Structure 1
Amino acid sequence: MAQRPGARSVEDHAADVADLLAPMLTRPSETIRLDDALGRVLSYDISSPVDLPLFRNSQMDGFAVDAASVATVPATLPIAGTVAAGPARPADHVPGTAVRIMTGAVLPAGTEAVVPVEDTEVDGEKVTVLRSRTAGEFVRERGSDVRAGMLLLSAGTLLEPRHLGVLAAVGLASVAVWTRPRVAVITTGAELVDAGATPDPGQIFDSNGAALSASLRANGAEVSVVDRSSDEPDAFRACLRRAVARAELVITSGGVSMGDYEVVKDVLAGLGAQFGPVAMQPGGPQGSALVDEIPVLTFPGNPVSTMVSFEVFVRPLLRRAAGLPAVPTEDAALDHAVTSVPGKRQFLRGRRTDSGVEVVSGPGSHLVAALAWADVLIDVPTDAASLAAGDRVKVWPL
């Protein structure tokens, strides 16, 4: 079945969006404090500037000795001093003596092993070693973990707490990361009110602002503006001016359908925007523009349409721009039969099961709860009026 006359394919619209956003994909690097680097992506390889451990130290609480003095046990040795963890320059070791030492403390030059406390008996200023130790036992040699110049992390690493711990351990206070794309969100509609407000008849809560903002952040963007406009053109123009001044990309929701009070279409049409249906459900009404050289993508306002539009057209490009790995589509078997609208590519909300994938909602773009229940979008091809249980489908992980 051919797609509907006048409707563009998902592939064609995705290609146009990719062209529009191409300048955003080549990103500069920035150096930031390590404390701010969680969730950022390294822009270059990091090699260790130092050896780890930084110095030769004790692995145990015990006594530092030369191996020859404890070759035969029991061996009773005078205690020549104590070295605690922390700044210290212990005196060189005198063979035939023992130095009380704590975990992590600097080993005196000339000591070869550490005898753990549990293998000794202390009597005043003497210690009897009950078990012999060979050179190197319970000693952390300098550089035994990391050598200066060793590659620690590669460019493209998404920094997690474990990475930050390693970087701090080698003394790095800052790292170079890819800058995050700055994206602005504008929701539209006189009917929208904030969550927590008491809506009047005809009003609804604005979920698109929260959902888009969270989706952007989860995929590597910095959300620079979250604004909401009424259906008045001057109000939308004011929002648009604020957005393009602070962002590399602006995403709008609502105001692009075929009815009256389509404020996004009314304003952007005069600025050279392109609008038209895409052969998909949900998310058919789509548009794009350049405003002051800033790309503007216009999504339909129904919550499911907005989120499906983001997943299909923006998420892959945004992750690429942020240096994040792509989220590949998967292949799964349908648990049950589904029907589809001929000529439209369906993106059904689905959920993985032990045997494949199941649909968790009807196709309606107002069915918000199913987004929370779903973990994939089931991609039903344009020419498929129906699919049988067991048929293989492409799914987009959410």
Structure 2
Amino acid sequence: MDRPGHGRRRDLPGPKRGYGLRRAGEELPAGTLLARAGTEINPALVAVFAATGIGHVVVRSSPRVVVVATGDELVDVGRASQPGQVVDANSHALTAAAVEAGAMAYRVGICDDDPEGLRGLLEDQTLRADLIVTTGGTGTGPGDMMRRILSRRDGAVTFQSVALYPGTTLGFGTVGGEEVPIVCLPGEPAAALIGFEVLARPAIQLLAGAEPVFRPSVRAHLLETVPSPAGLREFRPAHVAERRGGGYTVQPLPGGPYTMSGLAEANGLLVLGEKVTTATAGSTVDVLLLDRRR
């Protein structure tokens, strides 16, 4: 009906019986598995648990990871470096990487190449750490203190040259009476981050009970020819994109595997095997996905 000076009114039918009601079991029938072991808890899953009457679930807490940088040559961020000194980028980067992997990370900071001080620091950190990650001192020189003090401890920590590029020697084992796992990474920043991806990140995922522990990978169409050192498995920063017709393309980033700026921009790591000396444009290669933003 119409009224002068007013809009038109329309009478709508009343709601049907049961309108606006949700029946028990309408969304998830009885017996439905809500989450498998290794599933990461998110807000929506918490809502599902609450809606189905589950007030408590057994979870693994986030692993506690301690990050230590070693070397007399290191100075902290914000301080002017003198000739022969290097700003400690590693401990900050590795702490961020551990958090991204799902850990509660603690950056201890810089430890000088003092054997007793380093031993004491590691012993102290075993009281609060589920995993210790160090950077620097893994080489064979007289100043590589991490290797010197840990190699003498009944073989609990092993240092090995690995067929990894960038990177040379990595250490792994346990320290302290609690036998806390330790991963010792090189001091070169790019090598430290690649070593973290290969060795430390899977360990964090394993401690957290996550499945799978490794990053997802895809096969991609290589857009540019790149050389690779023989006998080493190279992890090169790259940009991965999805193709319109399906599949992926991968573009190596400038500067090669040792550039921090390339790693900062990368959303994937191009993986070239030990037998590859040249990967030609148009070939299909393996790529580790660093995130889902492509």
Q: TM-score range by the shorter chain?
A: 0.7 to 0.9
Contact between 2:256 and 2:262, CA under 8 Å: does it hold in 1?
no
Task: Calculate the aligned-residue CA RMSD, in Å.
Answer: 2.7
- Cα shift at 1:342: 1.7
When residues 119 and 192 of structure 1 are mapped into structure 2, their CA distance, relative to the original with a 3 A threshold, is: farther
When residues 169 and 391 of structure 1 are mapped into structure 2, their CA distance, relative to the original with a 3 A threshold, is: same
Question: Which residue in 2 is equivalent to 1:276?
Answer: 160
Output aligned runs, 1:131-280, within 5 Å: 131-138=13-20, 140=21, 143=24, 151=32, 153-155=34-36, 156-169=38-51, 174-223=56-105, 226-271=108-153, 272=155, 273-280=157-164
Question: Which residue in 2 is equivalent to 1:375?
Answer: 267
Question: Which residue in 2 is equivalent to 1:336?
Answer: 224
SS of alignment partner, residue 79 of structure 2 = coil
| One-letter amino acid of the structure 1 residue matched with residue 130 of structure 2 | E
Cα deviation, 1:210-250, whole Å, max 9, x if unaligned, reads: 22222222223232563421112122112211222222322
Contact between 2:66 and 2:132, CA under 8 Å: does it hold in 1?
yes
Contact between 1:199 and 1:205, CA under 8 Å: does it hold in 2?
yes
When residues 207 and 145 of structure 1 are mapped into structure 2, their CA distance, relative to the original with a 3 A threshold, is: farther
When residues 168 and 205 of structure 1 are mapped into structure 2, their CA distance, relative to the original with a 3 A threshold, is: farther
Contact between 1:190 and 1:230, CA under 8 Å: does it hold in 2?
yes
SS of alignment partner, residue 226 of structure 1 = strand
Q: TM-score, normalised by structure 2?
A: 0.80
| Larger radius of gyration between Structure 1 and Structure 2 | 1
Contact between 1:216 and 1:223, CA under 8 Å: does it hold in 2?
yes
Instruction: Compare relative contact order (CA 8 Å, sep 6+) and give the higher one, 1 or 2.
Output: 1
SS of alignment partner, residue 150 of structure 2 = helix
| One-letter amino acid of the structure 2 residue matched with residue 291 of structure 1 | V
Output aligned runs, 1:1-398, within 5 Å: 131-138=13-20, 140=21, 143=24, 151=32, 153-155=34-36, 156-169=38-51, 174-223=56-105, 226-271=108-153, 272=155, 273-292=157-176, 293-326=179-212, 327-353=215-241, 354=243, 356-363=249-256, 365=258, 367-398=259-290
- Cα shift at 1:162: 2.0
Question: Which residue in 2 is equivalent to 1:96?
Answer: none
Contact between 1:213 and 1:226, CA under 8 Å: does it hold in 2?
no
When residues 175 and 384 of structure 1 are mapped into structure 2, their CA distance, relative to the original with a 3 A threshold, is: same
Contact between 2:221 and 2:282, CA under 8 Å: does it hold in 1?
yes
When residues 276 and 163 of structure 1 are mapped into structure 2, their CA distance, relative to the original with a 3 A threshold, is: closer
Contact between 1:219 and 1:322, CA under 8 Å: does it hold in 2?
no
| One-letter amino acid of the structure 2 residue matched with residue 286 of structure 1 | L
Contact between 2:73 and 2:85, CA under 8 Å: does it hold in 1?
yes
Deviates more, 1:248-257 or 1:283-292: 283-292
Cα deviation, 1:327-369, whole Å, max 9, x if unaligned, reads: 222211211111112222211111114561121133453x211
When residues 372 and 224 of structure 1 are mapped into structure 2, their CA distance, relative to the original with a 3 A threshold, is: closer
| One-letter amino acid of the structure 1 residue matched with residue 170 of structure 2 | Q
Contact between 2:225 and 2:279, CA under 8 Å: does it hold in 1?
yes
Q: TM-score, normalised by structure 1?
A: 0.61
Deviates more, 1:303-312 or 1:220-229: 220-229
The separation in 2 between residues aligned to 1:277 and 1:298, in whole angstroms, is: 12
State how many pairs are aligned: 270
Aligned-residue sequence identity (percent) comes to 32
Poorly superposed stretches of 4+, deviation over 6 Å: none
The separation in 2 between residues aligned to 1:276 and 1:151, in whole angstroms, is: 48
Q: Which runs of 5+ in 1 are unaligned?
A: 1-117, 121-129
